[in-house]
Amino acid sequence: MVALVNEVSTLRRHLEAYHKDQYLKWAKANNFLSMLPKCRKAKAEKAASAKLQTQLEDHHKPNAEKIIPYSDKAFREAATEWLIATNQPIQAFEHPSFHKMINIASRASNGVKIQVERQHVTKSSTCSIHRSNISKTISTYVSDSGSPSL
């Protein structure tokens, strides 16, 4: 006598034990995902192992310079060292261009790297900025007729 069971899991275990080859052949022919317990377990293990990190990711740089986390104290020390090393006046910290430079650098995600250009390139760049500032100043104080507006 054969007992009829309405449990799907029992049927799957029976198919796996006695009719596995026929079932897999049918599943492949009908583009059906195998639901046999051992097949599902193997698929779950494969998916879980794929989620595990097996090697270092590409963006990891083992010899990268250690980035000091921001703190007001560390910034104050670095700014003071810069002030002394470059022989700047204390008022340099109050200058708007210094604040602009710090605000721009604060948005950098991986630190700031300053490429020092050749001296003649830096000199021409500085002269160009200076000429632009002089032109703006002159245009502010000279009227359209060419005479100073006081």
Per-residue pLDDT of the chain (150 residues; tens, 9 = 90+): 566 656 666 777 888 888 888 888 988 898 888 888 888 888 888 887 777 665 655 555 566 567 777 788 888 888 888 888 888 888 888 889 888 888 888 887 777 777 766 666 667 777 787 788 788 888 877 766 666 655
First to last CA, the chain: 116
Total-model pTM: 0.37
Residue given tokens 């204390």 in the structure block = 90
CA distance to 20, 77, 79, 94, per residue, from 82 (Å) = 75, 9, 5, 14
For the chain, the structural domain boundaries read 8-49, 72-138
- Alpha-carbon torsion angle 9, 12, 16, 22, nearest 10: 180
